[in-house]
Chains A and B, each alone.
Chain A
């Protein structure tokens, strides 16, 4: 019974309709988003497949759109009983900040910071876990990517001036 309710949630129809509307916009705007100025006829050209694809998405979304506009009596917004995703949103925010961290703080500091804050957020915050895991993972990533695989990481924009300043101080 709960499974049936889950499957019939209006959240599905909303998500399907959003995809359908997106496909409609893309279908209409495709001729401008695809450079079809080449000499090939339409059936060999780069536009035919995207048009088929967006029509397919739109066709798949039509039942969702219909149900969203005309919901049945039993329809509800109940999804799965797992509540709202505030914690997930915060972790997602951290994930978005992580690439910026790579750019400004570098691999080591941003990895350590990410793990420290994320572990605290998900309540894996015993002293042992909070000290050992971020350091251990940071070391593993550093050794693996920088040492063994020799991957280039951007020079941290915020750390470099601090380093230079510290070097200057030491020289003095």
Chain B
């Protein structure tokens, strides 16, 4: 154990890893600050470059963008009331009123302290919880994996239950994309339409880069980024005297970090719920309830600690079960599988050095992101002035060349452009695009586990009811599907009665 920790420590502090995570964090903060881009665009643009590195360095690069994005998102939320990432909307509830009172430094200090605390707490939870969950998951067979995957998929679909039909369609579409090409088990051709290039199937890079990178930039070309030249910051770096005063909110910090981690752990819930829930719980428990919404640093700390705890929380099901919690961790799953590493309970046993490297890298990313923003707060905040349309055009061309470079196939560029069109339509219409990505990433896992389960049950799924874990998960899944509907029905009945 200690020798793995030592090896992981050495790998995390290697020059290449430090360089990758610093660069990734820098890119993450930049795309997080720019409203309309976000960490997903940053991750997919860097995805093709990550293949040039070893898996640990590639993961550090992308994790840097993942975590850095949440750090950056809070800056425009506080200064301009424009969240860089959707979950930072909650930070603006108290951050912007503080800025209006001339206390932008206090608001930013609170947001940064919250982000840093949430990030560190969640990594510590990840370190302790992942082996426990992996230990439980070690006894899993195909039926258990299948039910876990179904559970994850249902959670994702139910997270958008106001768009249930659309969510199901996109999930199905993602599953279908995953089936294209040669079937790994039987070596049969599927949906190749008589062409040779389709036999390799659809790669995760063009699909994700097309959906998010090109799709999002096409939206940016249309709308641009809201520009605001009114950035009120008294000094270029963070004022430490304000930061130290905020340590009195340590309970809020820890509580919100824990809430964020556990919300991140559940597939489909996402960082918006994490920051809302942390904020709401803090507001209920605070002695200064009346200040919430009018400008209290406690609100900023709660919201940012909540959303910044999500990345490490989402890593728990990814590393232990191979089930990504959201679209961002789905991309990370792609990096693992492309490098021939299959996340699951055995990963912690088979690749202990890689896992400890990831832990140390995540801790380092939080330190680097915090330090970068403390030192260069104003220069980073000024990034919001860069014209969005200019950025969009540049990102498009980098994305296309990046996609081509992965396999040197122009076919992949064509796939990315097609996915870009689909991504644009989905983003413009507000359909839950995350379902499509989850379907695509989980498709292969679902199909293989389903077929293995059916083989074990001689063509019947009744085998699921012979296993206690499966029964438990099936019951939970059914509850997740029906309880919200029953609550909705009751709510609308009560409303009718009161009318």
Name A residues whose Cβ lies closer than 8 Å to a Cβ of B. Answer: 6-7, 9, 11-12, 15-16, 19-20, 23, 26, 33-38, 40-46, 48-50, 53-54, 56-57, 59-64, 79-80, 82, 85, 87-88, 91-92, 95-96, 98-99, 102-103, 107, 111, 114-115, 118-119, 122-124, 129, 133, 137, 141, 145, 149, 151-154
Contacts and interface: CB of A to CB of B under 8 A. Distances in A.
A96 to B, nearest CB: 6
B479 interface: no
A92 B421 contact: yes
B212 to A, nearest CB: 15
B165 interface: yes
Interface string B214-248: 10001001110000000000000000000000000
Contacts of B214: 95
Contacts of A111: 397, 401
Contacts, number: 184
B454 A44 contact: yes
A92 B168 CA distance: 28
A122 B393 contact: yes
25 contacts: A7-B163, A7-B430, A26-B191, A33-B191, A35-B188, A42-B459, A44-B185, A45-B186, A53-B172, A56-B169, A60-B164, A61-B169, A79-B428, A80-B430, A82-B428, A87-B221, A91-B221, A99-B413, A114-B397, A118-B393, A118-B396, A119-B390, A122-B221, A137-B394, A141-B401
B397 A6 contact: no
Given A56-B171, A92-B421, A123-B389, A50 B179 contact: yes
B455 A43 contact: yes
A36 B405 contact: no
B15 interface: no
A80 B397 CA distance: 28
B16 to A, nearest CB: 14
Contact of A137 (B169, B183, B397): B397
Contact of A119 (B179, B190, B393, B401): B393
A12 B429 contact: yes
B166 interface: yes
B487 interface: no
A7 B189 CA distance: 39
Most buried by A among B52, B165, B171, B390: B165
Contacts of B401: 107, 111, 141, 145
Most buried by B among A46, A50, A149: A46
B398 interface: yes
Contacts of B454: 43-44, 48
B450 interface: yes
B447 interface: yes
B429 to A, nearest CB: 6
A141 B428 contact: no
B113 interface: no
Nearest to B460: A43
A26 B176 contact: yes
Nearest to A154: B410
Interface string B259-286: 0000000000000000000000000000
B275 to A, nearest CB: 20
Chain B's interface: helix, strand, loop or mixed, by majority?
Answer: helix
B408 interface: yes
Most buried by B among A111, A133, A151: A151
A57 B410 contact: no
Nearest to A138: B397
A48 B392 contact: no
Closest 3 CB pairs of A and B: A60-B168, A57-B172, A60-B169
Contacts of B450: 48-49
Contact of B193 (A12, A33, A42): A33
A60 B451 CA distance: 23
Contacts of B223: 82
Nearest to A107: B401
B451 A43 contact: yes
Interface string B170-204: 01110110010001011011110100000000000
B42 interface: no
Contacts of B394: 115, 133, 137
Most buried by A among B52, B392, B393, B410: B393
Nearest to A37: B188
B68 interface: no
B447 A49 contact: yes
A124 B188 contact: no
Contacts of B165: 16, 60-64
B175 A53 contact: yes
B404 interface: yes
A56 B168 contact: yes
Contacts of B221: 87-88, 91, 122
Nearest to A91: B221
Given A15-B429, A123-B389, A85 B222 contact: yes
Contact of A46 (B167, B186, B429): B186
Contacts of A123: 389
B19 interface: no
Nearest to B401: A141
B175 A16 contact: no
